[in-house]
Amino acid sequence: MWLSDFSTLLSSAAGSPPLEITTIVLGTFILEDAATLLAAMQVAAGAVSLPLALGSLYTGIVLGDLGLYGLGRISGRVRWARRLVGPRRRNIGRDWVRQRVIPLVLVSRFVPGLRLPTYTTLGFLKAPFATFAAAAILATLAWTSLLFFISLKLGILMLHYLGPYRWVGLAVFVVLLIVIGRIAARWQMDKAGKDA
């Protein structure tokens, strides 16, 4: 349902760049991969320009990533949250993540379900903000561009072959993306468990 609502909202914003930008940016806060797919479909249909769609996606996703880091940083100042992780464990964690900010951001960008806990933990443990922000921007540029251009190509094919039923094809693609992400996350967790 969210997919069709977002698509309708984005279609109704056509012709008004500020509304298109706002719709895409807000869509990334709700479900960024779906917003990326839908924005690409709208570009394929000629309803939204490619630079506006990509720029809005990058902006929304990076703002969301920085927001997650900020939430972690704020929670590090809350007394009850600090009590959950003692000073010794916080120091050990801070030293560990300081050395691994870039790989942690990259892995969590490409494995669904890892961004929220990873980015908020990096904020909580006061990982270097500049390093985090640079890694988040680079990871977003890579992942979002890849997903967007695959979706754009699929969107053009779906418009040609499925016509009005292209949204069914999009829904199948979203489900496949989620399933593949879950399989990759489980594989990564199983691998980490064996290495431990």
* Tens-digit pLDDT profile for residues 23-78: 899 989 988 888 888 888 888 878 889 999 999 999 999 999 999 999 999 988 88
How far apart CA 115 and CA 123 sit, in angstroms, is 12
Q: Identify residue 97 by its one-letter amino acid code.
A: V
Nearest CA to 119 out of 142, 134, 136 is that of 136
Distances (CA, A) of 173 to 56, 72, 128, 167: 22, 32, 36, 10
pTM above 0.95, yes or no: no
User: Which contiguous run of DSSP H or E holds residue 180?
Assistant: helix 166-195
Residue 159 has pLDDT above 90, yes or no: no
Cβ atoms within 10 Å, residue 146: 12
b/e per residue 41-68 (b: at least 16 CB within 10 A): bbbbbebbeeebbbebbbebbbebbbeb
Residue 2 has pLDDT above 50, yes or no: yes
